[in-house]
Amino acid sequence: MSKKPLILITNDDGITAPGILALIEVMETLGDVVVVAPDSPQSGMGHAITLNNVLHLDKVSKPGDKTLQYSCSGTPADCVKIAINEVLDRRPDLCVSGINHGSNSSINVIYSGTMSAAIEAGIEGIPAIGFSLLNYSWDADFEASKKYIKQIAENALKNKIAEGIILNVNIPDLKKKELKGIKVCRQAKANWKEKFDKRQTPQGRDYYWLTGEFVNYDKGTDTDEYALQNGYISVVPVQYDLTAHHYMQHLNTWQFEK
């Protein structure tokens, strides 16, 4: 058996996205790579899974290819589930998701298919990282990010990631010489001020496009938004345990009837 680490790669932009191709290139230098990714873009799917439909899994790599690749008809979380249960012959040492075309910093982590795939791996007890570049263009240049992605993945393999923790990594859209390094941060307190662009079909039926403005309310210098605005790659440790532990004591002061 190979002694190289086994690395599972997925994303939410689809298996043909330039971002995942860049991530494959980096991970192939670190271990044996298997890719299971959506067959079409799944951005903003969050942690959705497929319950009321079948899933299709198609092998897209060819004999002789360095990396085994599958496309899946489901969501990013589906891809991780089916990879672990139907594709891989051993548990991966690391799951990496991305490189996402666009930011998943701050509150965006809640909506992100990229991060939900990584979180699904974390739920399964697999160390996981989500990588995102702050450029939404299909033609985004991922070259400057590769050095740092490799460093973070190498550290994850060497030093391990604690159980229940997933790393959310966001990379400014800057040239290699402009990137200042890596900062471990907390998630900024920010939100979307959403609007709906209301229109009508030629038949007179109303329809809506979701639009909005991202607003950062956090003035702290230890946040992911601050790091990104100042040329640093942000690394935020997140968890899937959503319990507000600090609030439990207060809730216990409420009066409940038996």
Torsional sign, CA 43, 48, 52, 55: positive
The answer to whether 71 and 42 have CB atoms below 8 angstroms apart is no
Q: Give the dihedral of Cα atoms 40, 43, 47, 49; nearest 10 deg.
A: -20
β-bridge mates for residue 253, sequence order: none
* HSE, side-chain direction, 13 A CA sphere, residue 16: 4
206 is in an annotated binding site: no
13 labeled part of a ligand binding site: yes
Question: Residue 190: beta bridge partners?
Answer: 216
Query: In whole angstroms, what is the distance from residue 23 CA to residue 10 CA?
Result: 9
43 labelled binding-site residue: yes
Q: Taking the alpha carbons of 214, 121, 165, 179 in that order, is the dihedral positive or negative?
A: negative
Question: Is 39 annotated to bind ligand?
Answer: no
DSSP 15: T
Binding residues for a divalent metal cation: 12-13, 43, 100
Binding residues: 12-13, 43, 100
